[in-house]
């Protein structure tokens, strides 16, 4: 295959968009974390006898339950911010809309992450 | 200054030049399930916030599940389970692709179908194991 990159670009080693390699690696590292965490999370929820207030509080309030949720949701929010960023970059080319959606994605995920962590810690306290 | 060697760069083929095949469908489904999982995580966060807020706030969630739209909540949860399972199975395949394996078209199409089927089977197993959770 022909060499498609300029010598300078190859020397810099950052890919065609200058920042893609870090995104690529972060997406895969969080994916590996989720491969381990999501089955534990789903198993934890699926084995509950019901979804009443008391049952849910007890499951998520237990040290292990709280830890599983904190780890799973942290990895999930990180992974989904990266994922939706790519979707926005692929389909939205108008610069203003694109920047706005990218900012909204980051702020929404950051906000959801904090709400989720705070809620879990309140339940576990 | 030397001119950058950009002349021979390929143009991306347009989507419409492709005939539908299983790997293409699995790739599109990966993106759709990713966005669905994003939506699911938003709802999980709202559920957690209601659970943290106390019995009154959680009562609104319970009323929704017990009410006339309860069946829609159950269907949404089954859909979320399917979406998570599919995205994970196809995600494992993506990691294998990243390692440089599994690019043969026939095998790839077969694995796409197996991944779709596997996601349905695992989702059904989870819901049978959960037995009347919601």
> Which domains, and CATH codes, for chain B?
21-130 (1.20.1300.10)
B132: alpha, beta or left? (left if phi > 0; alpha if psi -120 to 50):
left
Give B15's DSSP letter: G
The position carrying tokens 């949701």 is A73
Q: Tens digits of per-residue pLDDT, A96-108?
A: 999 999 999 999 9
**Residues of B in Cβ contact (< 8 Å) with A118:** 52
Residues 25-84 of A with CB under 8 A from B: 28, 31-32, 34-35, 38, 42, 45-53, 56-57, 60, 69, 73, 76-77, 80, 83-84
- Measuring CA to CA, how many Å separate A116 from each of A38, A41, B128? 16, 14, 28
> Are B98 and A69 a contacting pair at CB < 8 A?
no
- Per-block average pLDDT, block size 10, for chain A (125 residues)? 72 70 90 96 90 94 96 98 95 94 98 98 95
pLDDT band at B88 (very low <50, low <70, confident <90, very high): very high
Token representation of residue A117: 């962590």
A124 interface with B at CB cutoff 8 Å? no
CATH class of residue range A19-124: mainly alpha
Looking at residues B37-60, what average pLDDT do you find? Answer: 96
Sketch the domain layout of chain A as residue ranges: 19-124
The length of chain A is: 125
A83 closest CB neighbour out of B34, B48, B129: B34
ipTM of the complex: 0.86
CB B49 within 8 A of CB A60: no
């Amino acid at each position: 295959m022909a060499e498609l990159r300029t010598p300078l670009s190859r020397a810099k080693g950052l890919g065609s968009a200058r920042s893609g390699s870090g995104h690529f690696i972060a997406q895969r590292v969080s994916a590996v974390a989720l491969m381990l965490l999501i089955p534990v999370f789903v198993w934890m929820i699926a084995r509950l006898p019901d979804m009443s207030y008391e049952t849910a509080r007890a499951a998520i309030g237990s040290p292990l339950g709280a830890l599983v949720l904190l780890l799973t949701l942290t990895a999930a929010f990180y992974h989904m911010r990266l994922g939706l960023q790519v979707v926005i970059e692929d389909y939205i080319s108008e610069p203003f809309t694109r920047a706005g959606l990218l900012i909204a994605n980051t702020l929404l995920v950051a906000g959801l992450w904090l709400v989720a962590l705070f809620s879990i810690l309140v339940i576990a306290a | 200054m030397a001119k950058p060697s950009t002349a021979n760069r390929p143009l991306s083929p347009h989507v419409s030049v492709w005939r539908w095949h299983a790997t293409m469908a699995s790739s599109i489904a990966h993106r759709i399930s990713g966005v669905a999982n994003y939506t699911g995580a938003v709802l999980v966060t709202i559920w957690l916030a209601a659970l943290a807020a106390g019995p009154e706030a959680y009562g609104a969630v319970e009323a929704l599940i017990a009410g006339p739209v309860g069946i829609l909540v159950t269907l949404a949860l089954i859909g979320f389970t399917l979406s998570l399972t599919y995205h994970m199975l196809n995600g494992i395949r993506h990691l294998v692709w990243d390692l440089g394996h599994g690019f043969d078209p026939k095998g790839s199409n077969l694995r796409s179908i197996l991944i779709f089927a596997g996601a349905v089977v695992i989702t059904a197993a989870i819901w049978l194991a959960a037995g009347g959770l919601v």
